[in-house]
A and B are shown apart, each in its own frame.
Chain A
Amino acid sequence: MSIAKRVQQWATFARTWHIYDCTWQNPFESAALVKTHLMGLHKPIYHPMNDCGDHVVLINTKEIALPGDEWIKRVYFHHTGYPGGASWTLAWQLHEKDPTMVMKKAVYNSMHGNLQRRHTMQRLHLFSGDSVPDEILQNVTNQIRTPRTVPQRLDHIDKETLENFPTIMDYPKDYILR
Chain B
Amino acid sequence: MASLLKVATSTLRSTLWQTRSVATTTPQLIKEIQEKQENNVRTYEGVNIESERSEKLLKSACQTTFCPECTLGLDIKHTDVLILSQYVRSDGCMLPRRITGLCYRQQKKMGTLVTMAQKAGLMPNLGPSWSKKDPKQRYGWKKFNKYFLESTIKY
Residue-wise, chain A 147-176 has the 8 Å CB interface mask toward B (1 for contact) of: 011011111010001101111111111011
In the docked arrangement, what's the CA distance between A66 and B141, Å? 11
Main secondary structure of the interface of A (DSSP, over half): loop
* Chain B residues whose CB sits within 8 angstroms of the CB of A148 once the complex forms: 147
Is A168 a contact partner of B99 (Cβ separation < 8 A)? no
Q: A65-B144, A155-B124, A178-B89 are in contact. List 20 more A-B contacts (CB 8 A).
A: A63-B145, A66-B146, A67-B148, A68-B152, A71-B141, A71-B144, A92-B141, A95-B144, A149-B79, A152-B79, A152-B81, A155-B123, A168-B68, A168-B86, A169-B61, A169-B100, A172-B99, A175-B99, A176-B30, A178-B27
Q: List, sorted by A's number, 23 A–B pairs whose CB atoms are closer than 8 Å.
A: A64-B144, A65-B146, A67-B147, A67-B149, A71-B141, A71-B144, A72-B141, A95-B144, A148-B147, A151-B81, A151-B147, A157-B81, A167-B86, A168-B66, A168-B68, A169-B100, A170-B51, A171-B51, A171-B99, A176-B30, A177-B28, A177-B29, A178-B27
B residues within 8 Å of A by Cβ? 27-31, 48, 51, 53-54, 56-58, 61-62, 66, 68, 79, 81-83, 85-87, 89-91, 98-101, 120-126, 140-141, 144-149, 152
